[in-house]
Structure 1
Amino acid sequence: MRYYEDIEVGETREFGEYHVTKEEVLEFAGQYDPQPFHTDEAAAEDSAFGELVASGWHTAAMCMRMLVDGPIQDRASMGARGVDELRWKRPVKPGDTLSVRTEIVDKRVSESDPTRGYVDSKLEGINQDGDVVISWIGLGMIARRPDDAEE
């Protein structure tokens, strides 16, 4: 288990592999973001994208899944305080394969609760061509090692 004290600013990781399917794009959009360029191939051809594309929220969810299956699973995660600077940089299409790159950009001990630390991480979702398709700064909360938190 990695605690707050084990995480260093500047630390980077690349991980994950998520294959985007047309069925999943249509299902997610139908449930959560039913705009025509996410739900209807013919309508999407006449859109600014020119083809069916995944919802940006779906892209975020796919990256979140890789994050949970990646570094979060071995951290003493206590959830998050939010997300800053969310950007959809390029459309994600059925057939794309996504991966994730993270960098720790800041960390500090909570002033109100010394048993937790705040760890801010930049996340970039990357497609098979190496293009960044989404980015955000995750505002994580990580438990401090019990002996260190008492000091």
Structure 2
Amino acid sequence: MKFKDFKVGMVISHPPIEVDEAEMLAFAKAYDPQWFHVDPERARKGRWGGLIASGWMTCGLAMRMAAQAALEGSESFGSPGLERLRWMAPVRPGDWLRLEATVDALRVSASRDDLGIMRWTWRVYNQDDVQVFEGEATNLFELEVD
């Protein structure tokens, strides 16, 4: 989508993607090697009753879905970050996650008329419609100036 195609209040969706256990374990071993992410036997006996995905992997999956659903082919060139990052429920191997992203604000920079700024809230739900993730992202867009 192009910056001009986004509208405040619009909801952008991505269909469900499956959380693969091998990918989940590989990610956790590389980036978040806490026992409840990497040790199936210990995790089974722990508070969560089994392995759960790293929240950072969930964030990465949300990014992938946002890019595929809205940013591919756009003028987006980066982001200054996320705010209100929340992991609300555990994500498990075999879960199916889907994205619903709501455009909260759009503006052209006051100091640079070639810079578009979009703030949007990403919400990720599992196959049972339980919300597992929420984050407010800001994306920057390179605009053509007439």
TM-score, structure 1 normalization: 0.91
1:106-117 aligned within 5 A: 106-117=105-116
Aligned residue in 2 for 1:141: 140
The farther-off stretch of 70-79 and 93-102 is 70-79
Aligned residue in 2 for 1:104: 103
The answer to whether residue 21 in structure 2 is matched with residue 16 in structure 1 is no
- Does the CA contact (< 8 Å) of 1:17 and 1:66 recur in 2? no
Distance 1:143 1:39 in 2: 40
Aligned residue in 2 for 1:78: 77
Distance 1:16 1:138 in 2: 20
Aligned CA RMSD, in angstroms, stands at: 1.3
- 1:87 to partner: Cα distance: 0.2
1:1-151 aligned within 5 A: 2-3=2-3, 5-144=4-143, 146=144, 149-150=145-146
- Does the CA contact (< 8 Å) of 2:13 and 2:69 recur in 1? no
Distance 2:6 2:121 in 1: 14
The farther-off stretch of 65-74 and 55-64 is 65-74
Gaps of 5+ in 2: none
Distance 2:15 2:78 in 1: 20
Distance 2:84 2:73 in 1: 25
Amino acid at match of 2:92: K
Amino acid at match of 1:53: I
How many residue pairs match? The answer is 146
Distance 1:22 1:6 in 2: 36
- 1:113 to partner: Cα distance: 1.5
Distance 2:123 2:107 in 1: 22
Distance 1:35 1:84 in 2: 24
- 1:140 to partner: Cα distance: 0.7
- 1:13 to partner: Cα distance: 1.5
Distance 2:57 2:40 in 1: 17
- Does the CA contact (< 8 Å) of 1:28 and 1:58 recur in 2? yes
Gaps of 5+ in 1: none
